[in-house]
Structure 1
Amino acid sequence: MNQSIVNRIKSVLQLQRKTSQNLSEETGIQQMLIELMLLGERRIYPNELIAITVALNVEVKALLEPRDQQTPLQIVLNGELTNRRSKRAFESVLYAIEDYITMKQEYGKDGNTR
């Protein structure tokens, strides 16, 4: 199995704060097999990949397709911003992300102005 797919699965697990044990329980795949898959030592079969995507609530193509750097990021908000403080905090995070992207475009990876 392609290592980039394994890395994407690991990223989703980390984002969702799930362990190999959680994934095992939700997919019905033995925990040892999941750990071998995540280490890249065992192939992930198509039926297992489908079970993993269902358990992680992601589309199969999201794991298979390389992420295009030009694709805009999507922010999914679970719940509601119910008060001013939470709205300001969210706007602050969005501003920080936009600021980071602008600085990265301006200075690039090497830190020099383009």
Structure 2
Amino acid sequence: MKTNDIVVKKVRNWLKSERKSYLWLANQLGIKKSLVEIMLDGERVLKPVHIEHLAKIMDISIKDLLKLDVEKKENLTVNLFGELTNRRSRRELDSLLFTIKDYINLKEQMTYLKNNNTD
């Protein structure tokens, strides 16, 4: 996703959550409403000065405005391609699988203990 798309999406969501209009935003930025519409429709790339002003208006850092929000998921999938050609690589894979299973078991135990703590 392009940086401009990230910012536009965040600004739109912020305007909606704050119940602010394009006209309000245009007044804050000191530009015409039609320019705000063009920028937020993705027809025009946001200038750095506008990104800076948007961050101030939204009361977030420029870094947070530009950062892609990624949902963190519990499950992790690892895909391995190729083949194991010697004993050492097979042992390393077995060791990795053991470590993963051990981690999962420890995590389940910690969750169980946390949920059943009677203190």
Same fold at TM > 0.5: yes
Q: Which runs of 5+ in 1 are unaligned?
A: 72-114
**Pair 1:34-2:36 in alignment:** yes
Q: 1:13 aligns with which of 12, 15, 29?
A: 15
Alpha-carbon contact 1:6-1:40 (below 8 Å) kept? yes
Alpha-carbon contact 1:29-1:48 (below 8 Å) kept? no
Q: Deviations over 1:62-88 (max 9, x none)?
A: 2211113239xxxxxxxxxxxxxxxxx
- Letter in structure 2 aligned against 1:40: G
Partner of 2:45: 43
Partner of 1:89: none
Partner of 1:3: 5
* Whole-angstrom distance in 2 between the partners of 1:52 and 1:4: 13
2:8 aligned counterpart, secondary structure? helix
- Letter in structure 1 aligned against 2:56: V
Q: 2:26 aligns with which of 6, 20, 24?
A: 24
- Letter in structure 2 aligned against 1:3: D
* Whole-angstrom distance in 1 between the partners of 2:53 and 2:59: 10
* Whole-angstrom distance in 1 between the partners of 2:58 and 2:24: 10
Partner of 1:67: 69
Structure 1's consecutive aligned runs of 4 or more residues displaced over 6 angstroms after TM superposition are none
* Whole-angstrom distance in 2 between the partners of 1:28 and 1:43: 17
Count residues with an aligned counterpart. 71
Percent identity over the alignment is 27
Q: Which has the higher helix share?
A: 2
CA RMSD, 1 decimal: 1.8
- Letter in structure 1 aligned against 2:51: L
